[in-house]
């Protein structure tokens, strides 16, 4: 595999998805990879998608895609309930896996996916794009350098309006893993873990329904989680909030950081540090988040470093999303499962 990887990494796309079309196909191409084949259950959709995105082959069969010897790695971006079976099949076929979040609908399923790749010496990464943002990396750097002194709180603002072209299974299909927590809480949990270098212990939450979602799914949530260090992390996530803007704040004894418009797929936003009554901008060199993720994935395939978010990071973020859902459902404080901690 080593020589092949040096030439070009062959990719199979499991899912004719919006996210692949908007971001990941380009990122694969920009970092030495080549999307070779795309799979959809629908033959016409697969063929149309392949043509529109310059991909040579289309298939409705996962086994055909996985039997392709030119495919070194797969990108799984189907609806959430399909990730598990597809990842296990990919591992069985000896393919490296970049998987979308949430990894699965249960922790045992997510852990099985990560173990299947680990046991075969294959790379498994979770596409938590936010920890690839230059802004988020800068916040982490400042926090970890102690610029804020002892940190006691973080606030995450990730309440947006779900674009119309995405208003389908996320809002109406519990069986596909729809709902706000599987979509956004996983990302915010990962971002908090990354910036604070800390683990969530427990969470309280309230969900809401404001007209977009159906079938018992929620389109908004607010929660507070307590980290192992005692730091409190508050998050507001929504699909129905058109005008709030996004951001995150970290507050410590010696200062506060304000990262504005950073909870997004785009390489935008700004970071500000407030200390001693003054606020100043912190320079950030923006970079495409998905290009950075794919670049690190390709490097990991060559034995250089690890993906920005590995499989255990995906297990940990899922543990938080499940705890958020359970806390909102029960009205109680819920412990975040320690799943993945011993392995990560």
Q: Which residues bind ligand NDP (CB under 6 A)?
A: 15-19, 40-42, 45, 77-80, 100-101, 127, 129, 166, 168-169, 173, 176, 183, 265
Q: Between residues 27 and 259, which has the closer beta carbon with respect to ligand NDP? A: 27
Residue 268 CB, nearest distance to ligand NDP (Å)? 14
Q: Least separation, in Å, of the C-beta of 318 and ligand NDP? A: 11
Beta carbon of residue 304, minimum distance to ligand NDP (angstroms, whole number): 23
Nearer to ligand NDP, 45 or 275 (CB): 45
Cα gap 141→308, rounded to integer Å: 15
Pick the closer one to ligand NDP by CB: 75 or 258.
Answer: 75
CB of 16 to ligand NDP, least distance (A): 4
Q: Which residues contact 277 (CB under 8 A, 6 or more apart)?
A: none
Structure tokens at 312: 């255990």
- Nearest to ligand NDP of 148, 262 (CB atom): 262
User: Which of 75, 157 has the CB closer to ligand NDP?
Assistant: 75
Closest to ligand NDP by CB, 100 vs 188, is: 100
Q: How far is the CB of 293 from ligand NDP (least distance, A)?
A: 9
Least distance (Å) from ligand NDP to the CB of residue 295?
16
């Amino acid at each position: 595999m080593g020589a092949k990887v040096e030439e070009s990494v062959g990719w199979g796309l499991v899912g004719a998805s919006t996210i692949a079309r908007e971001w990941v196909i380009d990122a694969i191409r920009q970092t030495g990879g080549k999307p070779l084949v795309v799979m959809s259950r629908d033959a016409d959709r697969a063929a149309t998608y392949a043509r529109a995105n310059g991909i040579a082959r289309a298939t409705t069969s996962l086994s055909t895609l996985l039997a392709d010897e030119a495919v070194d790695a797969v990108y799984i971006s189907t609806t959430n309930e399909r990730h598990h079976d597809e990842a296990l099949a990919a591992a069985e076929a000896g393919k490296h896996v970049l998987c979308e979040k949430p990894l699965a609908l249960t922790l045992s399923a997510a852990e099985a996916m990560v173990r299947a790749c680990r046991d075969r010496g294959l790379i498994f990464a979770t596409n938590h794009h936010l920890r690839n943002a230059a802004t988020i990396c800068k916040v982490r750097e400042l926090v970890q350098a102690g610029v804020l002194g002892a940190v006691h709180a973080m606030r995450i603002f990730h309440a947006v309006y779900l674009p119309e072209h995405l208003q389908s299974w996320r809002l109406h299909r519990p069986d596909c893993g729809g709902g706000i927590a599987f979509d956004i809480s996983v990302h915010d949990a990962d971002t908090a873990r990354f910036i604070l270098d800390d683990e969530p212990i427990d969470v309280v939450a309230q969900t809401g329904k404001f007209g977009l979602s159906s079938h018992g799914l929620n389109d908004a949530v607010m929660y507070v989680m307590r980290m192992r260090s005692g730091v409190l992390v508050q998050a507001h996530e929504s699909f129905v909030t058109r005008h709030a803007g996004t951001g995150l704040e970290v507050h410590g004894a010696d200062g506060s950081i304000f990262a504005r418009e950073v909870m997004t797929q785009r390489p935008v936003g700004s970071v500000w540090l407030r200390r001693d009554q003054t606020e100043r901008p912190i320079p950030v060199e923006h970079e495409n988040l998905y290009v950075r993720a794919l670049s690190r994935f390709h490097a990991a395939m060559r034995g250089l470093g690890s993906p920005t978010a590995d499989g255990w990071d995906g297990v940990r973020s899922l543990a938080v999303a499940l705890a958020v859902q359970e806390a909102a459902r029960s009205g109680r404080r819920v412990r975040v499962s320690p799943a993945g901690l011993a392995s990560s």
